[in-house]
Amino acid sequence: MKKIVYQFKIELLGIEPLIWRRVEVPSTYSFWDFHVAIQDAMGWLDYHLHSFSLLPPRKRKPILIGIPDDEDEENMLAGWEVPLTQYFKQPGDEAVYDYDYGDGWQHRIVLEAITLQKEGIKYPNCSDGQRACPPEDCGGIPGYYHLIDILSDKAHEDYEVMVDWLSNHAKNYHPYDPKYFEPGNVVFCNPKKRWKKAFEDG
């Protein structure tokens, strides 16, 4: 019997042209598992906190799902304990995914379809998307646009400094092409291993 797949469109808000991904994940995923898939598909490095914000029908206060701490554990549900199916019920359901509260990256998450797994495809799967993810810790939307301006002008006084920063980052981003994205190059990590590394190995 074929298993059920959730197809999502993920859009990074506040940047034009739009940076987006189409991702298909097993319906058995938790919000933590989905978080890891978003990180991998977008190109983030999972160095910072994250949360999902959802507003279920007939609710005035949004549901927050992510990594609770001692201060907000009553308001933030642990993502690894909440299945996607609890809040994503039908195509059109949405959420906002926040990543790196300092840089303030917000993503619009839309459930596009609920389908069956296809033969020959390994899930999670990134089937489409456009444009490169901003480099991690580039300074949010203003920093991203400033980076693009500098890289477009080799005569800019900060060009070599920025190239050096990109080259010596935790991930080597140089040469950085904001237009480039290839879905087939996405490598998905095991969310259980990511959780163990984050909460047990440290």
Could you tell me the CATH number of the domain that includes residue 68?
A: 3.10.290.30
Mean pLDDT of the chain: 94
* Residues 84, 26: Cα–Cα separation, whole Å: 9
Are residues 9 and 90 both part of a single domain? Answer: yes
Q: Is the pLDDT of residue 87 over 70?
A: yes
Output the DSSP codes for 105-142.
Answer: EEEEEEEEEEEEPPTT--SSEEEEEESPPPPTTS-HHH
Q: Is 21 helix (H, G, I), strand (E, B) or coil?
A: strand
Looking at the structure, do residues 142 and 56 belong to the same domain, yes or no?
A: no
128 shares a domain with 28: yes
pLDDT at 74 over 90: no
More confident residue, 145 or 2: 145
Q: How many domains does the chain have?
A: 2
> Are 67 and 118 in a shared domain?
yes
Residues 126 and 148 in one domain: no
Please write the tens of the pLDDT for every residue from 123-154: 999 999 999 999 999 999 999 999 999 999 99
User: Is the model's pTM score more than 0.75?
Assistant: yes
Query: Are 190 and 95 contained in the same domain?
Result: yes
Asked if the model's pLDDT at residue 199 lies above 60, the reply is yes
Split at pLDDT 50, 70, 90, the class of 58 is: confident
154 and 56 in a single domain? The answer is: no
Q: What is the mean pLDDT of residues 153-177?
A: 95
Domain match, 26 and 101 both: yes
What's the mean pLDDT in 68-97? 90
**What digits encode the pLDDT tens for the residues 24-49?**
999 999 999 999 999 999 999 999 99
Q: 158 lies in which domain range? A: 134-178
* Residue 69 banded pLDDT, cuts 50, 70, 90: confident
The pLDDT of residue 73: 57
* Whether 11 and 109 share a structural domain: yes
Q: Is the pLDDT of residue 1 over 60?
A: no
Percent of the chain predicted with pLDDT > 70: 96
Tell me, yes or no, whether 94 and 34 share the same domain: yes
DSSP bridge partners of 110 = 9, 94
Q: 8 and 59: one domain?
A: yes
Q: Are 195 and 139 in a shared domain?
A: no
